[in-house]
Chain A
């Protein structure tokens, strides 16, 4: 599980530099619901330094996931700016945003979103298809990533043959296999029991502290949020340091 040697680079040295890696300026997000326009995010400002482990907490519908989708470039703000490592990603075209996601962000989902017909190894190797690597190279990197999450013995297992905790580990391996600097985790323990959830949180801590990944984690669970370096609270589209009373 602690075999890190095959993942290409470590980023410890980059942790906590002064320049924010992710930065939101005056970000709003409007949704059309029938004839009604709903403002989900209200002019948000947020700086996330490189190497941070940020937990985003808040009630359902408060805009946490929308915020994370905007940070990850899978949704666009209605107004405002999204800067990642100095790049204004809200101005990118769809294709440029796809390429950017492939290089910079690893996503971990509450429901894992593994492809059921593929083995654990094939699922993890999926993002490597975009790197135009040879099959053998893809396999080696996928195996190394699975070793990091402690699943080196489960390469050929299909998702249905794995427990929830193991599936989430495969999801994390898929998120880190291209060695992106940012990990965005949407309720990564939301579908797991406490023990499996703890294992996942330990893993995220490890990836943050030893691999230098900048982790943003949306969670309802204060126990999970306690593993982060800091926690922000989202209430009705507004961020705060403290939970709503």
Chain B
């Protein structure tokens, strides 16, 4: 049977090649669309309603006074609080690659993000080392760091001594079970960073992170936190990480719909192409099917033959397209990761693609099937 399927595909080589390429290109496009969609919905991965973030509402991207932390810690339902000062920078040896440094109050960040907690030994070393740093596993891999390495980060803001370099020492690596996007931070001591900043920049945070006891109360607690500071010059905006991610996805809402619409159009067009190819192929081979019936092939075998042909064409084209799509998304990743950090082709998307290819095969084989099964063998053999 395999030789018959292969022979049928080779019968019109050019037609088979063009159809194969159509399928491959369609599935390559599907891979990219699926990667974009993953980039959108993947932002929800690893986030939780248990974690809240408080930002400056008065000035977008502005700083928050550090003493807000103590007030927030007293809000009922808040289990842990950590002020974070973000220092965007680059590692001096790889200036093209950004590194996000979070200066946190002692190890409080690991009380908020318990899943990130490094080993007790690493935490002890960090606690006793003012210049210490705990890095995410992905960042360590990317930079090739080892425990004990001196890490120099080039950054803004300027230090009070006018320099733009920060010196840290790697004391440990935080837990690897967090989603990949969260594996690339460098956590350092707030006190060390704060002391080096100009007076006007000191005692402030980029954000305050909170862990709450009951995620179902996230909206209520967020409101309670923001209410604390309504009389202060800097108002706050608090929301759960989950709500933050959902809001981000909503910004891309139309893009997501567009991705689905384009995908559906591509596959519908592909279905027409494959149906046309198989219908023509069956129409040209009705006499051959009559000969096979004469030789003793049952209808069921002819159905399998046609289905095998459709599957061979579609699945090979889809596999080639998905493989090419994987390569393409890998190439695109660096360019889009800053906006869609979860961008990438997932195994689930590959599986979905193969299921779609299978479904197209069934439909494409199903359309010429009645024509093939209705043939009157004596007439076909006479060439009627």
Contact = CB atoms under 8 A, between A and B. Distances in A.
Interface in A69-119: 69, 72, 74-75, 94-95, 98-103, 107, 109, 111, 113, 115-118
B4 A129 contact: yes
Given A95-B298, A101-B296, A113-B287, A65 B382 contact: yes
A28 B4 CA distance: 37
B3 to A, nearest CB: 6
Interface stretch (B6-14, B133-141, B361-369): B6-14
Contacts of B10: 117
Contacts of B296: 98-103, 127, 130
Contact of B377 (A66, A74, A95, A102): A74
Interface in B285-305: 287-288, 291-299, 301
Contact of A74 (B1, B4, B378, B383): B378
A130 B381 contact: no
B291 A115 contact: yes
- A-B pairs, top 5 by smallest CB distance, nearest first, are A102-B296, A117-B7, A113-B291, A101-B296, A117-B11
A109 B298 contact: no
B288 A115 contact: yes
30 contacts: A65-B382, A69-B377, A72-B294, A74-B294, A74-B378, A75-B377, A95-B299, A98-B293, A98-B297, A98-B298, A101-B294, A102-B295, A103-B296, A109-B381, A111-B383, A113-B288, A115-B7, A115-B291, A116-B11, A117-B7, A117-B10, A117-B11, A118-B3, A126-B292, A126-B295, A127-B295, A129-B1, A129-B4, A129-B297, A130-B296
Interface string A173-195: 01000000000001000000000
B299 A94 contact: yes
Nearest to A113: B291
Contacts of B8: 117
Interface in A154-187: 174, 186
Interface residues of A, number: 29
A122 B6 CA distance: 12
A239 to B, nearest CB: 19
A33 to B, nearest CB: 12
Interface of A: 65-66, 69, 72, 74-75, 94-95, 98-103, 107, 109, 111, 113, 115-118, 122, 126-127, 129-130, 174, 186
Interface string B67-96: 000000000000000000000000000000
Nearest to B382: A65
A111 B11 CA distance: 19
Contacts of A174: 295
Interface string B344-384: 00000000000000000000000000000000011001110
Contact of A130 (B288, B291, B297): B297
B75 to A, nearest CB: 76
B3 A69 contact: no
A171 B178 CA distance: 68
A99 to B, nearest CB: 6
B378 to A, nearest CB: 5
* Centre residue among A118, A122, A174 by max chain B CB count within 10 A: A118
A138 to B, nearest CB: 9
A111 B1 CA distance: 24
A94 B298 CA distance: 8
Contacts of A100: 296
Given A118-B3, A122-B7, 12 more contacts: A69-B377, A69-B378, A72-B294, A74-B293, A74-B294, A98-B298, A101-B295, A102-B296, A111-B383, A113-B288, A117-B10, A118-B7
